[in-house]
Chain A
Amino acid sequence: MQAQEPLTILIAEDSAADRLLLSTIVRRQGHEVLTATNGAEALEVFRRQAPHLVLMDAMMPVMDGFEAARQIKALAGETLVPIIFLTSLTESEALARCLEAGGDDFLAKPYNQVILAAKIKAMDRLRRLQATVLQQRDLIAKHHDYLLNEQRVAKAVFDKVAHSGCLSAPNIRYLQSPYALFNGDLLLAAYTPAGDMHVLLGDFTGHGLPAAVGAMPLAEVFYGMTAKGYGLAETLREMNAKLKRILPVDMFCCATMLCLSFQRRTVEVWNGGMPDGYLHRIATGERVPLPARHLPLGVLNPQAFDDRTEVQAMTVGDRVFLLSDGVIDTTDADDRLFGVERLQQLFAANHEPDNLFAEIAQALHAFRGEPRDDVSMVEVSLLEAAHVVPPAPVYSDSGQSSPLDWSVSFEFRGATLKRFNPLPYLLQLLLEVHGLRTQGGAIYSVLAELYSNALEHGVLGLDSSLKRDAAGFARYYEMRNERLEALQDGYVRVHLQIKPQGAGGCLVIRVEDSGKGFDVARVMERPLDGVRLSGRGVSLIRQLGHNASWSDEGRSACVEFFWEG
């Protein structure tokens, strides 16, 4: 057995003979001895010299051992100062009083030095154990504080990035724990230059900071590319490639990404590994599932990544509902899953759409018996395009180098048309002209419409009348994907011309394609209503741009924009 380190031991005993005897025994066992002849003296010695252990007679004049023990324990606080009562007390009631006063053990008279040594040793072990526990508790508390602080900092930085989006837009409602980031949950939303809305609900594998680190690059790609006018496919490809490159193999991000177009009244969806989302058609009450069709982001290498999206038609008031797996994976006390069926029962029972979140949250709480903090839900509704007001972008350059007299022509051919989206690049170029910046959204919308008309109706030869109903709508986008995949020849040409005019200037956009053209006169006869599923593009172009005209049997479209000085 390890030799015991010497302790400082206080002996409080009013009987001189007993005190002398006990002091001698304890000293001979190698400890330093302090003595007191009553409770008050014992307390005084304790205050002054802080002994490790106290041997305390119960019955003493001035202040008895019970009171002294109570006060010593109070002074010692969290530190364990063992008190062994010296007593020939035999009544159990008196022994109980010793324990109540804070006594840790008893030593009966006559003293037995072997038992005394064993008790001192046992109490010393206990004392050291307590000291170790306190030390470790303080260490854990310190680490915990560190961790919380790290999370606070990470969250503050992330919130700066995440809140650059438009989660506060009037058509978005969401439910998410303030610390969802540390459960790997991520919700992003931003306007595109055309006034469409991109929304991403993601769920990283893992918990804590490791789950949060991937959120930052993902959010940067999301906001950066959305603001520049990139579509879902390019943004998703970039996010996947970035996560694949930077995350360890066992980390990835399940995600659903939406592009909600108020102009076209469509929602474009890509779901990689998330639970089914739902498109709730308010008119019919139908809930169209938006199931996962892909592996999560960060799993496949860029060559194998599949960026195919699905497009659904919407009407004003329709809602898209997305949720994290925290909802359906919630378990009750018997380990049963909440599951999709219970969710659908809630859907069926829901009468007031605005109460849906509260009803789901309440049901989860009731099912589990307590709330959980890794449940994320978001609902995005389609507004009238006129009610959507994206904030004006902020530019930081001085405007001194704004180019005012130039033209440029591009021809995008077969293989390029399959993958490359030239619109963000073209938009960046045009926004170098300061006078055009306030019209950036309209220019982008028109440019996007002209380009997709040229590509889809021209090069791919798709018939827009297919888009008259929801089924045809889906069919249209399937055919678009198929034909684009098979595309060999064809081109889309874009000519941009900037001319100064007085203090202001003029932008001429001309887009040509290699397709069959269309009956210009018939399309131009249509009223500028813009509410039908098909043919809306032409109305949009005519409303947003000036002098829209078509020539070469519809194969060449021209639109102008003006600005004042």
Chain B
Amino acid sequence: MTDTHIDREALSVLREVMEEGYPELLDTFLADSEIRLAELQKTADTKALSEVAHSFKGSASNMGAVRLAELCRELESGAKDKSPEEIVKLVAEISVEFAEVRPVYENEKHHAHMH
């Protein structure tokens, strides 16, 4: 995994801030993201898409998922101008990116338990 997907520095700050709450934060983020991803995939309403993308972008940026946050930002601001095809393509990219970073957080959780 390269640094274009994850801000490793941000992760270490989170680990430090959260201490024993770190695994819970990781679980919450992953569960939250699953829900948001499902919402993005099933809705065609551009306003709803934009709002979900906005929230997803916020937590992704907090969690150091910089590429995911960037894709969400693109969807949030472009939802109303893009064609349905482009939106479907962008949501697909978000899914792929989430699938990419997911193991990183799983792994973090594992490491946290190791301590």
Q: Which residues in A have some Cβ–Cβ distance to B below 8 Å?
A: 14-18, 20-21, 24-25, 28, 57, 59, 86-88, 109-111, 113
Contacts and interface: CB of A to CB of B under 8 A. Distances in A.
Contacts of A21: 14, 17-18, 25, 62
Contacts of B58: 15, 18, 57, 86-88, 109
Contact of A20 (B24, B51, B61): B24
A88 B54 contact: yes
27 contacts: A16-B28, A16-B32, A17-B25, A17-B28, A17-B62, A18-B58, A18-B62, A20-B25, A21-B14, A21-B25, A21-B62, A24-B17, A25-B17, A28-B17, A59-B51, A59-B54, A87-B58, A88-B58, A88-B61, A109-B58, A110-B10, A110-B61, A110-B62, A110-B63, A110-B64, A111-B62, A113-B13
Contacts of A86: 58
Contacts of A28: 17
B61 to A, nearest CB: 4
A24 B16 CA distance: 11
Given A17-B25, A109-B57, A109-B58, 8 more contacts: A16-B28, A16-B32, A17-B32, A24-B25, A88-B54, A88-B73, A109-B61, A110-B63
Contacts of A57: 58
Contacts of B62: 17-18, 21, 109-111
Contacts of B31: 16
A468 B14 CA distance: 112
A25 B28 CA distance: 16
A149 B79 CA distance: 67
A17 B59 contact: yes
Interface in B85-100: none
B26 to A, nearest CB: 9
B59 A18 contact: yes
B33 to A, nearest CB: 8
Nearest to B31: A16
Given A15-B58, A111-B62, A20 B21 contact: yes
Contacts of B21: 20, 24
Q: Place the interface of chain B in its size category.
A: 20 to 34
Contacts of A20: 21, 24-25, 28
A86 to B, nearest CB: 8
Given A59-B54, A110-B10, A15 B59 contact: yes
A15 B69 CA distance: 14
Interface of B: 10, 13-14, 17-18, 21, 24-25, 28-29, 31-32, 51, 54-55, 57-59, 61-64, 73
Contacts of B24: 20
Nearest to A89: B54
Most B CB contacts (10 A, CB to CB) among A16, A18, A24, A110 go to A110
Contacts of B73: 88
A88 B57 contact: yes
B115 to A, nearest CB: 17
A24 B25 CA distance: 10
Contacts of B51: 59
A109 B10 CA distance: 12
Nearest to B16: A113
A22 to B, nearest CB: 9
B32 A15 contact: yes
Contacts of B17: 21, 24-25, 28, 113
Contacts of B13: 113
Contacts of A17: 25, 28-29, 32, 59, 62-63
Nearest to B13: A113
Nearest to B55: A15
A109 B73 CA distance: 12
B80 to A, nearest CB: 13
A540 B29 CA distance: 114
Contacts of B54: 59, 88
Closest 3 CB pairs of A and B: A17-B29, A110-B61, A109-B58
A308 to B, nearest CB: 93
